[in-house]
Amino acid sequence: MGLYTLRRLLVSIPLLLVISAVVFTLLQFTPGDPLDAYIPPDQVLSAQQREILKIDLGLDQSKPVQYFKWLGRAVQGDLGYRIKNGQPVLAELGRRLPPTLLLMGLGMTVGVVLGIFFGIIAAVKRYTLLDNTLTFLAFLGISTPAFLAGLLGMYVFALKLGWFPAGGYQTPGQGGVLDILRHLILPAIILSVTYIAILMRYTRSSVLEVLFQDYVRTASAKGVRSYRVIAKHVLRNALIPVVTVIGANIANLIGGAVFLESIFSWPGTGQLYLDAIDSRDYPMIMGTTLILAIIILLANLITDLLYGLIDPRIRFS
């Protein structure tokens, strides 16, 4: 397994290089450059000022030179500065990390726990009214666009019922733990809905597959209580595909949820990324893509390793 890990890590390096090169190239083909984004359509900038800005932002050099300059600094840990406000890219990401982890962490945890729980119930009580209701709700959850769910949730719970504030990370001037929690609950719950729905479906089908295996029938024939059959024998085997799904979504912990962040004015990395693309903020886009790519590759590796730990049938070659 050690060798396998080493090999995967080594392969990641050229992979990251390719990713960064592809993203950089795609950016060059996008219409508009940072200068065009920097200046609103009706602002007058003299040709001289444009030149100064261009040189300042490093946009006057050829594309390969710009890329290699960026690469050279990136491997040393310097991801450059945001064009929009001159702040270091890493610092900007770092600043957005706590709110993102809070939102995604709570949302995904609730989503995973409830999703697995409902999935098991739906599988055990399959084809009953409960199962059909849960399945229907799951489809609703998966099909509802995040944007709509967010606005609807805000309208009902923040406006009509007044239970939660209408967006924002904190009340200006406050910002204590309880204040942030109050702002966190609504977006986190709406976020969790998608995860509940997805995981419920996966868990249900996975449990159903395992439920009719011989060893399960043997266990209940031996007189093991049904709750223990589920918890010990069924779950451990049924969770294998579920771990894969969770692993595939781990990167979202860092990447954030763009739509919900926009609606709830939640200062997360999703919104940051979108903002960077809107303003053609090359250093920010490249830096964020690199970090996200690293996280995703690592998450995939860890998931695969965990997979091997959970399922002894899997051998690493």
Partner 1 sequence: MLKRSLLALTFALCTLGSASADKVITGAFDQGPGGAPGQFNPLTNTAGFTWLNKYYSTLVLYDPAFKKISGDLTSSWTVADGGKKYTFVLRNGVKWHDGEAFTSADVKFSLDLANNPDSGSAFASKFGNITKIQTPSARTVVITLSKPNAALLDALTNFMILPQHALSKIAPKDLRNGAWWRTNPIGTGPFKWNKLVPDQYVELVANPDYFRGKPKIDRLVNRYFKEQAAAVVALKSGDLDFSYLSLDDTKTFSGNAVKIISGPSQVANYLGFNNTSPLLKDVRVRQAILQAIDRDTIVKQLYGGGAEVANCPVTNSKYVPKGINAYAYNQEQARQLLKAAGWDNSRTVEVLTYYSDQLSKDVLVTIQQMLGQVGIKIAPRFVDVPTYNQTTGGNDFTMVYAGIGNGPDPDTLYPSLHSDFIPPNGTNRMKVNISALNKLFEQGQETTSTSARTKAYQEMCSLTNKQLPWDVLWSAKRFGGVSNKLSNFIWTPAPAGGRYDDKAYLWDTK
Residues that bind partner 1 (CB under 8 A): 31-34, 36-37, 39-50, 52-53, 56, 84-86, 95-96, 151, 154-155, 158-159, 162, 165-170, 172-173, 175, 261-265, 267, 271-272, 275, 278-280
Q: Using an 8 Å Cβ cutoff, are 204 and 119 in contact?
A: yes
Query: Among residues 83 and 230, whose Cβ is nearest to partner 1?
Result: 83
Whole-angstrom distance, CA of residue 110 vs CA of residue 299? 20
Query: Among residues 124 and 277, whose Cβ is nearest to partner 1?
Result: 277
Output the smallest distance, CB 187 to partner 1, in A. Answer: 11
Query: Among residues 160 and 222, whose Cβ is nearest to partner 1?
Result: 160
Output the smallest distance, CB 279 to partner 1, in A. Answer: 7
Query: Among residues 175 and 228, whose Cβ is nearest to partner 1?
Result: 175
Query: Among residues 68 and 163, whose Cβ is nearest to partner 1?
Result: 163
Whole-angstrom distance, CA of residue 28 vs CA of residue 69? 15
Query: Among residues 180 and 210, whose Cβ is nearest to partner 1?
Result: 180
Q: CB neighbours of 254 closer than 8 A, spacing ≥ 6?
A: 97, 100, 101, 104, 269, 291, 292, 295
Residue 95: both structure tokens together:
């600043």
Output the smallest distance, CB 185 to partner 1, in A. Answer: 15
CA dist 78 → 5, 75, 88, 209 (Å): 27, 7, 9, 49
- Residue 88 forms beta bridges with which residues? 81
Output the smallest distance, CB 79 to partner 1, in A. Answer: 16
Query: Among residues 29 and 127, whose Cβ is nearest to partner 1?
Result: 29
Report which DSSP code applies to 108: H
| Phi then psi dihedrals of residue 81, to 5 deg | -120, 145
Output the smallest distance, CB 36 to partner 1, in A. Answer: 4
Burial of 108 (0-12, 13-18, 19+ CB in 10 A): buried
Nearest to 188 by CA among 180, 176, 198: 180
Query: Among residues 6 and 52, whose Cβ is nearest to partner 1?
Result: 52
Output the smallest distance, CB 110 to partner 1, in A. Answer: 22
CA dist 189 → 85, 111, 112, 203 (Å): 33, 8, 12, 20
Nearest to 164 by CA among 197, 188, 142: 188
Output the smallest distance, CB 191 to partner 1, in A. Answer: 16
Per-residue H/E/C for 72-87: HHHHCCCCCECCCCCC
Output the smallest distance, CB 235 to partner 1, in A. Answer: 40
